[in-house]
Structure 1
């Protein structure tokens, strides 16, 4: 997988993490919210996350 320097990421446990630096390898990520209205960073997550197998 190639690095996408438009998406920074430091979640090394993710399948799509670029192991050589703090970036993602996906072309697009999906962000979701846990509340009807997101008011803090804790209300959101990267729904594209997948664990390494």
Structure 2
């Protein structure tokens, strides 16, 4: 499985995670939020996430 050395990822449940090296295999990701006014890192989401 290829990896994108610019995108680290520790979410092993994601379809695009290279679990051996802890990187994303996508060429780019989309980051979004589930909050109206995000103020903390916990308010953000990887919108590219897909369950394995």
TM over 0.5: yes
| Structure 1: 4+ residue segments shifted above 2 A | none
Structure 1, unpaired ranges of 5+: none
Structure 2, unpaired ranges of 5+: none
Quick check: 1:39 aligned with 2:34?
A: no
Quick check: 1:20 aligned with 2:34?
A: no
CA RMSD of superposed structures (Å): 1.0
Structure-1 separation of matches of 2:50 and 2:15: 5
